[in-house]
Structure 1
Amino acid sequence: MINIDRVDHLVLTVADVDRAADFYENVLGMSQVSFPGDRRAVSFGAQTIKLHAASELVEPTATHPVPGSANLCFITPNPISEVQEHLRASDVRIEEGPVSRTGAEGPITSLYVRDPDGNLIEIGRYDEPEQEPAPAD
């Protein structure tokens, strides 16, 4: 048995690396990163999303790498109402939400949008724990 500690990076196959990097940087607040060989990615926290152009795939790759086939969930500390306002100001269409969902660590409230390649992007915030009523004296 092996133990997996965390996700280090994901790879998204995209039609246009510049367009994808711009979306993830300007809409979702990630930072652009460059690697040797003109390879690009975006990063946030301790994670990286490598952006591979469909026309120039880096081997080895997935069996059927195509733009628009991912479904990703990102967690934000921001109130969902602020996220909604930012998305609208960025001319990003909200597909669904806010809706209640279950994240890896419990209940979240989420919005769903699509990136320029059509990948489904869920932006969620963990719900505040319900306060226990104070005991009566």
Structure 2
Amino acid sequence: MISIDRVDHLVLTVADVDRAVEFYEQVLGMTPVTFPGDRRAVSFGRQTIKLHAASELVEPTATHPVPGSANLCFITENAISEVQEHLRANEVRIEEGPVSRIGAAGPITSLYLRDPDGNLIEVARYDDEPAGDVA
């Protein structure tokens, strides 16, 4: 039996890498990264989202890689009201929320939005964590 420790990275197939980098940097506060061969990504914490253009897929790849097919949940330490304000200030439509859900470690409060490719993005906060000052 093997033991998996954590997710290191995931890959999103996108229509426009520059547009995706801008969204994840400006709206979700992630850090742009460039790898050898001018491959692009965004990082947060100890994770990376590699961004592959649908027109220039990197092999090996998923069987049916298409923009807009992902559903991702990101955890924030910010109060959900702060996230709502930030999304509105950046003219990002909130699809749903705040709503109560169950995350990997317990109850969360979530907001749902979409990235430029139509991927469903959930930004959530664990209900039992006190809101801290997050820069």
What whole-Å deviation, never above 9, does each CA across 1:69-110 have from its counterpart, x for those lacking one? 000000000000000000000000000000000000000000
Report the Cα distance in structure 1 between the residues aligned to 2:38 and 2:64, rounded to whole angstroms: 23
Once the 2 structures are TM-superposed, how far is the Cα of residue 47 of structure 1 from its aligned partner? 0.2
After superposition, the CA RMSD in angstroms is: 0.7
Aligned to 1:132: none
User: How many residue pairs align between the two structures?
Assistant: 129
What TM-score, normalized by structure 2, do the two folds share?
A: 0.95
- Computing the radius of gyration from Cα coordinates, the structure with the larger value is 1
- 1:65-104, aligned counterparts within 5 Å? 65-104=65-104
1:12 corresponds to: 12
Q: Partner amino acid for 2:35?
A: F
| TM-score, normalisation: structure 1 | 0.93
Q: SS of 1:56's equivalent?
A: coil
> Structure 1: any 5+ residue segments left out of the alignment?
130-137
What is the letter of the counterpart of residue 48 of structure 1? T
Other structure's SS at 1:87 match: helix
Alignment-mate amino acid for residue 77 of structure 2: P
1:112 alignment counterpart: 112
Deviation at 1:128? 2.1
- Residue 124 of structure 2 aligns to a residue whose secondary structure is strand
